[in-house]
Amino acid sequence: MKAFEALAAQLAHLGVTDVFGLMGDGNLKLIPTLVHEHGITVHAVRHEAAAVAMADGYARSSGRVGVCTVTQGPGLTNALTALITAHRGRTPLVALVGDTPVGVQGLPQDIDEAPLVAAAGLATSPFDPATAHADLARAWRTALDTRRPVVMILPTDLQEMAAHDTVCELPVAARVPVSPGDLSVATEALASAARPVIVAGRGALEGDCRDDVVALADHVGALLATTLPLNGWFSGHPFAVGIAGGFAPTEMRELLGEADCVLALGASLNHFTTRGGGLFSADATIVQVDEDPGAHGRYTRHDVAVVGDAGAVARDLLARVPGGQRFRTAEVADRIASGSPPEPDAGDGRGLDPRLVARTLARALPDSTVLAVDGGHFMGFPSMAMPVTRPANYVFTLDFGSIGLGLAAAIGASVADPSRTVVAAVGDGGLLMSLGELDTVARSGLPVVVAVFNDAAYGAELHFLRMSGLPSGTSQFPTTAPLAPVAEALGLRAMTVDDEDTLEACRQALEAGVTGPTLIDFRITDGVRAAWLEEAFNRGTH
């Protein structure tokens, strides 16, 4: 068995059913072997970044390891932005990347791949043809344990060499939850609090400890909030205030600002979560719990640092802290229940209000809908308006600040579970950057709704220019061709929505059910500025 055959056999043994890729010299034999020898579906994309973003969306939505493959040289460089995004999003992913032959120098696609990958902060896993099965299993284990992408670099001549091992099981998990140390200071801070809040982050999600966190909050009378990646984790709880940070409604931000003790479980408390450090009162005691000691105070202040697993800390505090209602008063319950923002206007004559568009989508689509959000000024509107019932139904692609990855991530999420409708919320700039993937979604036949928030501009830059007192014309594209005919030509159903009548027709069509790839070109006004963007501008963090 040759090494490329061994890699395919090991993926099949690991239960892989879907791989996302773009074919080139570096995976020319691997891809057909996956398909024809093992029945694995290889979803062919039009750009290498999309291969990674689809695997990323698949992993975030399914909880499984994503797998992608690209060719050498420009295949890898094209994929790097999406790989860094997955790395910063803590996505377990294995990327099989071709490389030029070790024995042939000076080929056009030749580049020293390992240092390039390392400079991007990504992990590589060794590849030896003789131990190809074990090497892939080790890479898989590393991706699971670190919650990060792992890159395997595969020179084409080494792929042709013989593999001497056989399919193997995964190595034993290396990740062991960190037991908490001394909790006396954290216990005292929480016990003495009158208005405690618990903010759960990725560390809590990875520890699968939702029930422990809720039990602690219910016991001590704390409000519950999450960081953005955990959107929906506490969905349905009467004292959950949603996302902490720039996407929180005004009433929820005010409640969080009244906290006198904040228990951050596996949350980095970055600038977005804390609104540049201004979300919580200066008098509030901040207890930050994380397995990584380097996470404490990395972005904002903390008063008490606890090294430990989020679930273990929650269970220990439950046993230590006296119970009480504390922040859970009738008045607070009323404020949470009535905290929805007012209805937006239809528009200003230059386009629809993006908040109205987002609410129309929310009302027309089932609660089980998966929301994949691309980057741009618009992104807060669907994130705040559309109900997300669990984190796996929210795929956020801006961990590296890049636009253009949302459509591919949505396709990957739909592959993970084709029974669910998936909305790819994208701006016109991000869509046109990844336009080729409309062909990918058309070929898939999946129920993906591409909702384009089209302001004929790079919206964030337009508003930054306006707030800077500079002309905004260089950020605008007023002559952009209509998107619906382009989508229809590629095989999608499509419509243009630019007034209240077409918005109502769109709502009715969506309520009737989504049966295949659909693009909706929402012509929105550039006269509505998102509060989170203005805050970012004022903090100088844009």
Residue 181 has pLDDT above 90, yes or no: no
| The last residue of a domain, from among 308, 337, 366 | 337
DSSP string, 109-141: T---HHHHHHHTT-EE----GGGHHHHHHHHHH
| 193-225 per-position pLDDT tens digit | 999 999 999 989 888 899 999 999 999 999 999
Whether residue 257 is found in the same domain as residue 398: no
Whether residue 436 is found in the same domain as residue 518: yes
**pLDDT-based confidence at residue 341 (cuts at 50, 70, 90):** low
Give the mean pLDDT of the chain.
93
Beta bridge partners of 518: 449, 493
Whether residue 331 is found in the same domain as residue 365: no
Assign residue 394 the CATH number of its domain.
3.40.50.970
Whether residue 87 is found in the same domain as residue 225: no
Q: What is the mean pLDDT of residues 307-329?
A: 94
| The last residue of a domain, from among 159, 176, 200 | 159
CB 233 within 8 A of CB 226: yes
80 located within any domain: yes
pLDDT given at position 405: 97
| The last residue of a domain, from among 309, 337, 365 | 337
Residue 362 has pLDDT above 70, yes or no: yes
Whether residue 457 is found in the same domain as residue 364: yes
Where are the strands (E) in 383-498, listed by range?
394-396, 422-427, 448-454, 493-497
C-alpha–C-alpha distance, residues 212 and 182, integer Å: 19
- Tokens 């990395």 sit at which residue? 298
Q: Is 334 helix (H, G, I), strand (E, B) or coil?
A: helix
| 147-161 per-position pLDDT tens digit | 999 999 999 999 999
54 located within any domain: yes
Whether residue 126 is found in the same domain as residue 206: no
Parent domain of 132? 3-159
pLDDT given at position 342: 65
Whether residue 376 is found in the same domain as residue 234: no
415 located within any domain: yes
CA torsion, points 357, 359, 364, 367, in degrees to nearest 10?
130
Whether residue 131 is found in the same domain as residue 239: no
347 located within any domain: no
Q: What is the mean pLDDT of residues 399-403?
A: 93
Residue 525 has pLDDT above 80, yes or no: yes
pLDDT given at position 62: 95
168 located within any domain: no
Whether residue 509 is found in the same domain as residue 392: yes
Q: What is the mean pLDDT of residues 107-114?
A: 91
Query: Does 293 or 505 have the greater pLDDT score?
Result: 505
Whether residue 440 is found in the same domain as residue 528: yes
Assign residue 260 the CATH number of its domain.
3.40.50.1220
CB 264 within 8 A of CB 296: no
pLDDT given at position 130: 97
C-alpha–C-alpha distance, residues 529 and 348, integer Å: 13
The structural domain count of the chain equals 3
DSSP string, 153-164: EEEHHHHTSBP-
pLDDT given at position 340: 66
pLDDT given at position 542: 56
**pLDDT-based confidence at residue 246 (cuts at 50, 70, 90):** confident
C-alpha–C-alpha distance, residues 57 and 93, integer Å: 10
Label the pairing between strands 41-44 and 93-99. Answer: unpaired
Q: Tokens representing 74?
A: 């420009």
Whether residue 271 is found in the same domain as residue 206: yes
pLDDT given at position 175: 66
Percent of the chain with pLDDT over 90: 79
Q: What is the mean pLDDT of residues 512-536?
A: 91
166 located within any domain: no
305 located within any domain: yes
Q: Is 205 helix (H, G, I), strand (E, B) or coil?
A: helix
175 located within any domain: no
Residues sharing a CB contact under 8 Å with residue 25, sequence separation 6 or more, in sequence order: 71, 72, 98, 109, 156
Q: What share of the chain is helix, strand, coil (3-state, %, to 5)?
A: 40, 20, 40
Whether residue 273 is found in the same domain as residue 404: no
CB 411 within 8 A of CB 444: yes
